[in-house]
Amino acid sequence: MDIALDKVCELILRARAIDVKEGQTDPASGSNPIDDGSVDALTSSPDDATETELRDVISGLNDDERADLIALVYIGRGDMEPEEWADAVRLAREREEASSLSTADWLIGIPNLADLLDEGLSLMGRSCT
């Protein structure tokens, strides 16, 4: 893989922070966060720093690293086997070239991104632990 393990692990942590958030259930509560049990901390919003940070990290990756990240998703969700790594990377490059959707938008749109990346790493014989 051309992407460093620590970068993938950082992305997994950031994606997990996004995965635990949910849509707004009380957008104008106006109450004290302590009275609400601070549940708004788990509410997703468009200006959420966590998602912005994840976008920035993905956008800051070079072409090879982004292709590897996409290939890990393909392997993690079972679209391809670890032995097909070169093909997975080739397909990832084709996806980037053909899609009007940025890689960051595409990846963030995957609901279980962290789990897929973690599974992809595991199948490739690597781990964040």
The stretch 80-106 carries a mean pLDDT of 94
pLDDT band at 63 (very low <50, low <70, confident <90, very high): very high
**Residue 36 CA: distances (Å) to CA of 31, 48, 69:** 7, 19, 38
Of the two residues 76 and 40, the one the predictor is more confident about is 76
pLDDT band at 53 (very low <50, low <70, confident <90, very high): confident
Tally of CB atoms within 10 A around 106: 16
Of the two residues 53 and 9, the one the predictor is more confident about is 9
Length of the chain (residues): 129
**Residue 62 CA: distances (Å) to CA of 9, 51, 58:** 17, 19, 9
Q: Is the pLDDT of residue 49 over 70?
A: no
Tokens read off for 9 = 């692990």
The model's pTM:
0.77
DSSP structure string for 45-83: -TT-HHHHHHHHHHHTS-HHHHHHHHHHHHHHTTSS-GG
Residue found by looking up tokens 């509560």 in the block: 29
Tokens read off for 26 = 């009380």
Are the C-beta atoms of 14 and 56 separated by less than 8 Å? no
pLDDT more than 70, % of the chain:
76
**DSSP designation for 22:** B
In one-letter notation, the amino acid at residue 32 is: N
